[in-house]
Amino acid sequence: MTQVIKSRKVNLIVKDGIGMPGSEEFNTITRRLSAVWANNGKTLNPLTPDECAKFLPSIINVEPSDLNFRKEVEKYFTEISVPIALNETKELEVGMIYDDDETYAKEKVTYDDKLGTMTGELLGTPINKTDYVLYRFALQHPKVANKKEFMYSSDKIWFYIEDVAKEKEEKEKLLFAQNKAREVYFTKVVNDSNLLNGIINSFLDLVPVDKLVEDLTPGEKLAKVEEIITKYPNKFVKLSGDDNLAYRSLIHLALFKGVLTKIPNTETITYTTDKGIETLGANVDFAINFLKNERNVIIKQQIELRLKNLK
C-alpha cells in the first residue's frame, strides 16, 4: 500500500493599507493572530472532538486518554498567538497524507468562504498538523478574511488568506461555466423573446434594470445578459430550462415594482389587497407554488393587472 501525499500551500497575509510599503513601520510592525472568544463564552476551537484527538496530541504533548486533555486543548487555543509581520507572508502547509489513492478519491471536503466552517469528513492526516490547525483556526477567526476580496468588508479584519491553487481552480470553473452559459444563450435563448425576458426579469434583484425588460433595446438586453452570464453563469443555465420561469419572472418583476413585498429581514413574500395582507410563501419557490394553485388564480390575475397599469 503506497501513501498518497497531497501538498497544498496557503498564505496568511496582513491586509493592504495597514502600513505603507517601504516605510519604517512596514518593516517593523507585527500583527498577531491570537485567541478569540466564541459565542458560547469559550475560546474559538475550530476542530471537532475527533479532530482534536487526532491532530492535537503531537502539538500539546498530551494524549486524549489523559484526564487533562480537554483542559490542555482549551489552554492551547487560549494561548495561541502567531506573529505575522506587515512585510512578510506566513506560508502554511495544509495538505494531507492519505493511505492510498482510493481513500483520497473518497474524501469530499469543502470550506465555507464566509463562515470558515468545514463540511465533509477528513480521511487524510495533515502533512503539518500545526499549520493545518492554525489554518482551520484562521478560517473562523473574525480578524481574518478567507479571501482577499473580503478583506475590506470590516475594519476589524487584519489578515486575509491567499489560496493560489484554489483561486486558480475557481477561475477555471467560472470560465467553463461562463462559456457554457454563452453557448446556451446563442443556441436556445437569443431567439426566444419570452425566455430571454423571463430570465432577465428573474435577475432583477441581482442585476436590476432601469426600465421594463420589453422596453430595453436589443443592445441593452445583450449587455444585461452578458452581465448576468459573467456573474451568475450557472444560474443562467438553470433558468433557461426552468419550467416555472414565467411564474418566477412575474414574481421578481412584481417585487421589483413593489406590487409584491418581502417581510423585512426575511424572504417571505406578501401581497397587499383591500382585504388585508396575503402571504404567498416563505420564498420565491413557495410563492410560485402558491400562484400555480388554481384557487389563487384571481390573485395572480390581480398582480398581472397591477403590473400592466404601472407601464
Tens-place pLDDT, residues 118-143: 888 899 999 999 999 999 999 999 99
Residue 205 is predicted with a pLDDT of: 87
Mean pLDDT over the full length of the chain: 89
Residue 131 is predicted with a pLDDT of: 96
- Residue 269 and residue 264: Cα distance in Å, rounded? 10
**Nearest residue to 157 (alpha-carbon basis) of 31, 21, 23, 41:** 31
pLDDT at 23 > cutoff 60: no
Residue pair 138/159 in contact by the 8 Å Cβ criterion: yes
Tens-place pLDDT, residues 141-164: 999 999 888 888 888 899 999 988
- Residue 158 and residue 30: Cα distance in Å, rounded? 11
Residue 19 is predicted with a pLDDT of: 55
Q: Which residues contact 133 (CB under 8 A, 6 or more apart)?
A: 47, 55, 56, 59, 126
Q: Mean per-residue pLDDT for 74-96? A: 91
- Residue 33 and residue 157: Cα distance in Å, rounded? 11
Strand 269-273, strand 276-281: pairing: antiparallel
Residue pair 126/94 in contact by the 8 Å Cβ criterion: yes
pLDDT at 21 > cutoff 80: no
Tens-place pLDDT, residues 274-294: 788 989 999 999 999 999 999
- Residue 176 and residue 15: Cα distance in Å, rounded? 30
Residue 17 is predicted with a pLDDT of: 63
Tens-place pLDDT, residues 47-65: 999 999 999 999 999 999 9
DSSP codes of every residue in 257-280:
HTSSEE-TTS--EEEEETTEEEEE
SS3 of residue 24 by DSSP: helix
Q: How far apart are the first and last CA of the chain?
A: 71
What's the pTM value of the predicted model, to 2 decimals? 0.65
The residue with cell 468545514 is: 118
Residue pair 136/121 in contact by the 8 Å Cβ criterion: no
Domain layout of the chain by residue ranges: 4-162, 177-310
Tens-place pLDDT, residues 216-258: 888 999 999 999 999 999 999 999 999 999 999 999 999 998 9
Residue pair 94/10 in contact by the 8 Å Cβ criterion: yes
